[in-house]
Amino acid sequence: MNILVNPEEKVWKKAVERPVFKTKQINKIVKPILRKVKRNGDKALIKYAYEFDHVELESLLVPQSEIKAAADELSPQLKEAIQKAKANIERFHQAQETPELIEEVMPGVVCRRKSVAIQRVGLYIPGGTAPLFSTVLMLGIPAKIAGCKEIVLCTPPNVEGKVHPAIIYTADLIGIHKIVKVGGAQAVAAMTFGTDTVPQVDKIFGPGNQFVTAAKQMATKYGVAIDMPAGPSEVLVYADDSTPAEFVAADLLSQAEHGVDSQVVLVTHSQKFAKKVLKEIDAQLEVLPRKDIAAKSLDNSVAIVVKDLQEALNLINFYAPEHLIISVENEEEAVEGIVNAGSIFIGKYTPESVGDYASGTNHTLPTYGYARNYSGVSLDSFVKKITYQKLSPEGIQNIGPTVEVMAENELLHAHKNAVTVRLNSLKKNK
Site for a copy of itself in 192-221 (CB under 8 A): 202-203, 220
Residue type, 263: Q
Catalytic, out of 164, 269, 323, 363: 323
Q: What is the DSSP-derived secondary structure letter of residue 275? A: H
Of residues 234, 257, 322, 331, which has the active-site annotation?
322
Among 26, 30, 118, 295, binds a copy of itself (CB under 8 A): 118
Position 390, amino acid: K
Compose the 269-308 pattern: x for residues touching a copy of itself by CB under 8 A, - for all others: ---------------x---xxx---x--------------
Check residue 260 for interaction with a copy of itself (CB under 8 A). Answer: no
User: In 3D, which of 371, 353, 372 has the Cα closest to residue 363?
Assistant: 353
Using the rule CB under 8 A, is 421 a contact of a copy of itself? yes
| Partner residues linked to 235 by β-bridges | 264, 323
Binding flag, residue 401, a copy of itself (CB under 8 A): yes
In b/e form, how buried is each residue of 220-239, taking b as 16+ CB within 10 angstroms? eeeebbbbbbbbbbbbbbbb
Spell out the long-range contacts of 191-194 with Cβ–Cβ below 8 A and sequence spacing 24 or more: 191/122, 191/124, 191/152, 191/154, 191/219, 191/224, 192/34, 192/38, 192/219, 192/222, 192/224, 193/34, 193/37, 193/38, 193/41, 193/222, 194/41
Instruction: Answer yes or no: is 363 a known binding residue.
Output: no
CB atoms inside a 10 Å sphere around CB 119: 13
CB 204 within 8 A of CB 225: yes
Closer by beta carbon to a copy of itself, 69 or else 406? 406
Among 132, 151, 189, 298, binds a copy of itself (CB under 8 A): 132
Q: Which of 5, 69, 130, 283 binds a copy of itself (CB under 8 A)?
A: 130
Angle subtended at Cα 320 by Cα 362 and Cα 141, rounded to the nearest 5 degrees? 10
Least gap, CB of 289 to a copy of itself (angstroms): 5
CA distance 427 to 430: 5
Q: Which is nearer to a copy of itself, 189 or 377 (CB)?
A: 377
Please say if 164 is a catalytic residue. Answer: no
Q: Which residues contact 336 (CB under 8 A, 6 or more apart)?
A: none
Q: Which is nearer to a copy of itself, 57 or 138 (CB)?
A: 138
Stretch that binds a copy of itself, among 35-43, 155-163, 184-192, 345-353 (CB under 8 A): 345-353
- Give the Cα-Cα-Cα angle 326, 275, 315 (nearest 5 degrees): 40
Taking the least distance from each CB to a copy of itself, the nearer of 57 and 233 is: 233
Binding-site string for a copy of itself from residue 137 to residue 176, where x marks contact by CB under 8 A and - marks none: -----------------------------x----------
Q: Tell me whether residue 65 is annotated as binding.
A: no
Q: Which of 29, 55, 71, 225 binds a copy of itself (CB under 8 A)?
A: 225
Q: Which stretch binds a copy of itself (CB under 8 A): 35-43, 62-70, 173-181, 254-262?
A: 254-262
Any catalytic annotation for residue 280?
no
**Residue 344 binding a copy of itself, by CB under 8 A:** yes
* Distance from C-alpha of 253 to C-alpha of 237, rounded to nearest angstrom: 11
User: Catalytic residues, which ones?
Assistant: 322-323
